[in-house]
C-alpha cells in the first residue's frame, strides 16, 4: 500500500435509512337536488424510506514530485443515496479546510474542491500520505466519510556547470572573459559548492549553497599566454 498513487476510501453505507411521511388528503364535494352542499375528506399516510450513502474521493495529480514543485489535489463528494446531504465540510490533515463547490448535495449530485501543497525537502524521505474527512448531516444525524492520497518524493542530487567565453579566438596577450554558471539540477539542496578551472584555478563563488533549481554565475578574466598552448 506504500506505493499506491491513489488511496480512495469508499464509505457508501447503504444500510443507514430513515423515513419521511408522504401524507395526502382527498376531498369530495357534491350538491343535492335541493341545493344542499355535502363534503367529505379522507387522508392517507405512508412512510417514505430514505438512504444515506456518500463517496469521498481524493486524488493527487502525480505519483512523484521533486522538492519545490506544487502538488495539486482534487476532492469530490458524491451523494449516492436518496437522502439530502447538508452542512458538507471537508478537512484535510495536511491541507486544512477544503473549499467545496456546494455544502448541500442532493441525491445524484456532487460537490468538488481542490488544494495545493508545496513539496519541501523536510518531507523526505516520503512517501507523503494525507487524509481528508468529509462531515455532513443527513436525516438529522451526522455522518462522515474518509479518503486518502499519497505521493513519493524524488531525492536525487545533481549539479551542472557551463563555461562560455566572450570571443571565439584571441591572440597571445589578449584578454578573454570566461563566464561560469553552476546550477543545482537535482532535487536536494547542495552544500559546500566549489569550482576549480584547470587553467584559471579556484573560482570565487558568491555562495556555496544551492537549493534545487537555483544557479550562480561568475566571471573570470584571463590573459592568453604562450604557456596556455604549450602546457
Q: What is the pLDDT of residues 72-81, one digit of tens each?
A: 999 999 999 9
Q: Where does the pLDDT of residue 116 fall: very low under 50, low under 70, confident under 90, or very high at 90 and above?
A: very high
CB-based contact 79:112 (threshold 8 Å): no
All residues at 6 or more sequence positions from 80 whose CB lies less than 8 Å from its CB, including other chains: 12, 53, 54, 55
Q: How confident is the model at residue 56 (pLDDT cuts 50, 70, 90)?
A: very high
Residues with Cβ within 8 Å of 171's Cβ and at least 6 positions away in sequence, in order, are: 224
C-alpha grid cell, residue 79: 451523494
Kindly state the average pLDDT of the residues 201-229: 92
pLDDT at 105 over 90: yes
User: Looking at residues 179-193, what average pLDDT do you find?
Assistant: 92
**pLDDT range class, residue 170, cuts 50, 70, 90:** confident
pLDDT band, residue 5 (cuts 50/70/90): very low
- Enter the C-alpha cell of residue 150: 499519497
Of 27 and 109, which is predicted with more confidence? Answer: 109
Rounded mean pLDDT, 174-180: 95
Which of the pair, 4 or 113, is modelled with greater confidence? 113
What pLDDT sits at residue 154?
Answer: 87
User: Residue 131: pLDDT above 50?
Assistant: yes
SS3 230: helix
| Residue 137, C-alpha cell as written in the block | 448531516
Categorise residue 200: left if φ over 0, alpha if ψ from -120 to 50, beta otherwise.
alpha
Which among 109, 88, 98, 85 is positioned nearest to 59, based on CA atoms? 98
pLDDT band (50, 70, 90) for residue 4 = very low
Amino acid at each position: 500500500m506504500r506505493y499506491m498513487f491513489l488511496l480512495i476510501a469508499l464509505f457508501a453505507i447503504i444500510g443507514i435509512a430513515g423515513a419521511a411521511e408522504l401524507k395526502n388528503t382527498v376531498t369530495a364535494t357534491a350538491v343535492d337536488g335541493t341545493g344542499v352542499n355535502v363534503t367529505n375528506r379522507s387522508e392517507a399516510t405512508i412512510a417514505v424510506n430514505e438512504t444515506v450513502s456518500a463517496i469521498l474521493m481524493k486524488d493527487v495529480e502525480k505519483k512523484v514530485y521533486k522538492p519545490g514543485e506544487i502538488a495539486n489535489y482534487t476532492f469530490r463528494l458524491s451523494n449516492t443515496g436518496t437522502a439530502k446531504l447538508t452542512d458538507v465540510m471537508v478537512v484535510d490533515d495536511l491541507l486544512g479546510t477544503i473549499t467545496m463547490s456546494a455544502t448541500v448535495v442532493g441525491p445524484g449530485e456532487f460537490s468538488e474542491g481542490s488544494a495545493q501543497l508545496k513539496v519541501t525537502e523536510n518531507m523526505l524521505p516520503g512517501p507523503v500520505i494525507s487524509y481528508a474527512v468529509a462531515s455532513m448531516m443527513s436525516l438529522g444525524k451526522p455522518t462522515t466519510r474518509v479518503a486518502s492520497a499519497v505521493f513519493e518524493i524524488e531525492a536525487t542530487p545533481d549539479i551542472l556547470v557551463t563555461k562560455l567565453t566572450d570571443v571565439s579566438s584571441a591572440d597571445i596577450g589578449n584578454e578573454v572573459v570566461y563566464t561560469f554558471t553552476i546550477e543545482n539540477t537535482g532535487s536536494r539542496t547542495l552544500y559546500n559548492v566549489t569550482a576549480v578551472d584547470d587553467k584559471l584555478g579556484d573560482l570565487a563563488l558568491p555562495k556555496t549553497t544551492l537549493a534545487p533549481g537555483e544557479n550562480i554565475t561568475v566571471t573570470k578574466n584571463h590573459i592568453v599566454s604562450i604557456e596556455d598552448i604549450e602546457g
